[in-house]
Amino acid sequence: MILFYLTIYCINLLLWWGIVNVASSTNLLTDSKNVQLVLDPSLQLLSRKQRKLIRQNPGILHAITSGLQSAMKECKWQFRNRRWNCPTTQSPNVFGKIVSRGCRETAFIFAITSAGITHSVARSCSEGSIESCTCDYRRRGPGGPDWHWGGCSDNIDFGQVFGREFVDSSERGRDLRYLTNLHNNEAGRMTVFSEMRQECKCHGMSGSCTIKTCWMRLPTFRTVGDFLKDRFDGASRVIYGNKGSNRASRMDVRHLEPENPAHKPPSPRDLVYFEKSPNFCTYSGKTGTVGTTGRYCNSSSPALDGCELLCCGRGYRTRTEQVTERCNCTFHWCCHVSCLNCTSTQVLHECL
Ligand SMILES: *[C@@H]1O[C@H](CO)[C@@H](O)[C@H](O)[C@H]1NC(C)=O
Ligand SMILES: *[C@@H]1O[C@H](CO)[C@@H](O)[C@H](O)[C@H]1NC(C)=O
Ligand SMILES: *[C@@H]1O[C@H](CO)[C@@H](O)[C@H](O)[C@H]1NC(C)=O
């Protein structure tokens, strides 16, 4: 038992993501306002500071787990056609060994989970499900010639501040990995922040819009995922540099410099990495890659989802499957839909 806890402690504090599994499999969520956090063994995955933050913000545990769930779902969707398709497990180490590396995929996991927490917390504030925050009401008064601020803005400030405290506190160390992870965490939060949009509503007689009130709304999480996926494709490989600083001992994300001096320094919203990705082709217990055997591929695509690339040249087997779908649905007034069952044959290609 002692060994078990020591092991958890030593493989860093990267296990906090694991609460997505434990919290949903117990009654933690139904009782999130009074839960005995200190006694619940599942929350051993969190640091002391993280547990304190949860205790101080009743209702927030639910926002955290649902933010993590959205992040995992989005990660899988964005990478569904690639060799690395964001596999997750039910164990405390949700994303597996990839999180302790420094490759592009690691960068994406940090950014999307950090974005997920900020997004979910900001929205939960405006929905009133966290006791310590509300809508963001700081914008008041006229906003332009024909509109004024009003209504309930999603509380992105609270989401960002909480995210920095909660997510970043799982990082320890004084090295390139530490700086890279912190940078990518912040890139995730910044992406949520910078995609906030104004939404407005018209008042006045029959839609005349004589009075317009507006508020700030979070982007959809798909928008955040799309942006981060673009940044994954254009991620910068960085090294630790000391340029322009005589305080070399102080760790700061500003010390991250592009490995290739001809490249621009990464902007705060860019993803950064410092290690080449494995090829993700075959199973390896050592690196924690599951490989692409058994994955479905597209035999006519020349892209990454095509059988040639996805199966890493090993070839594939083809089988047919009968699929039954609802089809020719008709709507009957009122209110009932009837459908036929159409059976078709689908050809599936599976990597060897
Ligand atoms: C397979 O790839 C081709 C060419 O890129 C594309 O037109 C087709 O829609 C893909 N099929 C599926 C099932 O995704
Ligand atoms: C579905 O409806 C269309 C037009 O109403 C018809 O031509 C077709 O045969 C129908 N399909 C099936 C499977 O019944
Ligand atoms: C379609 O299939 C479902 C389930 O197999 C069945 O309950 C339903 O009656 C079928 N509908 C028709 C129109 O055959």
| Residue 19 confidence (pLDDT) | 85
Q: Average the pLDDT over each of 62-66, 242-246, 280-284 and give the range with the smallest value.
A: 242-246
* Cβ-count burial 241-266 (b if 16+ within 10 Å, e if not): beeeeeeeeebebebbbbeeeeeeeb
Q: Ligand 2: which residues within 6 Å by Cβ? A: 328, 340, 342
What digits encode the pLDDT tens for the residues 302-331?
999 999 999 999 999 999 999 999 998 998
Pairwise CA distance, residues 174 & 251, whole Å: 7
- Looking at the predicted structure, is the pLDDT value of residue 338 above 70? yes
Pairwise CA distance, residues 20 & 92, whole Å: 9
Indicate which atom in ligand 1 lies nearest the CA of residue 299. 1
Question: Is the four-CA dihedral 16, 241, 224, 200 of positive or negative sign?
Answer: positive
How far is Cα of residue 241 from the mean position of the Cα atoms in its chain? 28
* Cβ 343 under 6 angstroms from ligand 3: no
| Residue 31 confidence (pLDDT) | 44
* Alpha helices, DSSP H, located in the chain: 2-10, 19-25, 48-56, 60-78, 104-127, 156-168, 176-194, 221-233, 307-310
What digits encode the pLDDT tens for the residues 116-134?
999 999 999 999 999 999 9
Cis? peptide before 312, omega within 30° of 0:
no
| Whether CATH 1.20.1070.10 fits 291-352 | no
DSSP states of 25-74:
HSTTTTTTTT--TTT-GGGGGS-HHHHHHHHHSTTHHHHHHHHHHHHHHH
Mean pLDDT value across residues 156-166: 97
Q: Average the pLDDT over each of 116-125, 175-184, 253-262, 290-299 and give the range with the smallest value.
A: 253-262
Q: What is the pTM of this model?
A: 0.85
- Looking at the predicted structure, is the pLDDT value of residue 25 above 60? no
The confidence band for 1, taking pLDDT boundaries of 50, 70 and 90, is very low
| Residue 23 confidence (pLDDT) | 62
> In testing the pocket of ligand 2, which one of 323, 328, 342 has its CB within 8 Å of the most ligand atoms?
328
Cβ atoms of residues 239 and 274 within 8 Å: yes
| C-alpha of residue 157 to centroid of ligand 2, in Å | 54
Count the neighbouring beta carbons within 10 Å of the beta carbon of residue 92: 19
Average pLDDT, whole number, for the chain? Answer: 87
pLDDT more than 90, % of the chain: 65
| Residue 36 confidence (pLDDT) | 45
| Residue 90 confidence (pLDDT) | 87
Every domain range in the chain assigned CATH 3.30.2460.20 = 291-352
Ligand nearest to the CA of 347: 1
What digits encode the pLDDT tens for the residues 168-186?
988 877 789 999 999 999 9
Pairwise CA distance, residues 230 & 23, whole Å: 31
Cβ atoms of residues 115 and 189 within 8 Å: yes
The confidence band for 191, taking pLDDT boundaries of 50, 70 and 90, is very high
- Residue entry with tokens 């087997």: 317
- Looking at the predicted structure, is the pLDDT value of residue 37 above 50? no
pLDDT more than 70, % of the chain: 86
Mean pLDDT value across residues 204-229: 90
| C-alpha of residue 298 to centroid of ligand 1, in Å | 6
| Residue 123 confidence (pLDDT) | 98
| Residue 42 confidence (pLDDT) | 60
| Residue 308 confidence (pLDDT) | 95
Indicate which atom in ligand 3 lies nearest the CA of residue 326. 1
| C-alpha of residue 179 to centroid of ligand 1, in Å | 40
